[in-house]
Amino acid sequence: MKKEIDVALKSVVSEADCQAFHAAWLGKDGAITRAVQGLRNLSHEERAKKGQELNALKKQTEAAFFEMQEKIKQAAVDAKLMNDELIDVTIPVIGEVRGSLHPITRIQRSVEEAFSSMGFIIEDGNEIVTEDENFTFLNIPDSHPARDIQDTFWLSNKNVLRTHTTAMQNGLLKKYGPECRVLFPGRCYRNENLDASHDMAFFQVDGIMVGKDVSIANLIYFMKTALSAVFKKDIAVRLRPGFFPFTEPSFELDASCAFCEAKGCSTCKQSGWIEFCGCGMIHPNVLMMAGIDPLVYQGFAFGFGLTRLAMLRFNVSDIRVFNSGDVEKLKAVGR
């Protein structure tokens, strides 16, 4: 049988031959299958010996067959590639403009790469969230003025279009527990009057790190390292006192101007510093609402605008460019 199989394999040169060979030898009605079925007529000793031999033959035949089948498939692909009439749709058309990533996507990927290299998990979330997720779980009660400061799009079922990516924080703290590093970017919405620095749809990114020994020093390190990676040069950071309901203490973080090496220019208003983001240690109430004991664990949180970062990184003066759909203007960004 082995000699017959070797002869039959040499005659396999097409897909049709493959199907015929498989049916003749390896299929449910093939010669090897019939031989295995015939073992029941043998004695116990003969059945054991012949069974081993047939099993070895079947494995050898399958290996040789699949190798031959793969060669035939590859030969068919090579033949098609040699065909002068073949059109490769993956080759860019000469003289035509190629597509590219949106500037916001490019800046988001660079931020994600920077933080993921430092052990952060990248998460995504819903753009429609509950009132509790957007406000209550972030230590912003019904009477808090922050609900008035953020012009919110309310839906008929009392859900909202999230006004900040911080709305994901409670759910992620519950998901990952008291020791975690998570970064969560996404689109946010506010009922804004449109101008060069305001749009109703924009992108933010929030991050949290929680553990037993997390401190403000960790916050400074991660922000400095990430910003230096995004701007591809050394960036200094500094903290100023601030206020956010979901952090205590709260800070405004400034980054040294990457455009003038902190010497002073129109971008940084001659100060050498750019107001960059809000941050601080996660408020104990926020940790407790996520089921985390603030007497054992603490963490920091930060949030900044990806759209604002893209404006700084690509020197864009009008935020409306990003949502304009103007391909010519978007192509010019980042050149």
Q: What is the mean pLDDT of residues 18-24?
A: 88
- Average pLDDT (310-314) is 84
The owner of tokens 């040069």 is 233
Backbone angles phi, psi at 303, to 5 degrees: -155, 135
Q: What is the mean pLDDT of residues 81-86?
A: 65
Q: For 203-240, what is each residue's pLDDT tens digit? A: 999 999 999 999 999 999 999 999 999 888 899 999 99
Distance CA 189, CA 164 (A): 8
Sign of CA dihedral 278, 281, 284, 289: positive
Q: How do residues 104-132 score in pLDDT, each as one tens digit?
A: 999 999 999 999 999 999 999 899 999 99
Question: Which pLDDT belongs to residue 119?
Answer: 92
Helix, strand, or coil (residue 92): coil
Per the prediction, the chain carries an average pLDDT of: 87
Give per-residue pLDDT as tens, 125-182.
Answer: 899 999 999 999 999 888 776 666 558 888 989 899 999 999 999 999 999 999 999 9
Q: How far apart are CA 65 and CA 282, in angstroms?
A: 63
| Rg value, the chain, Cα | 32
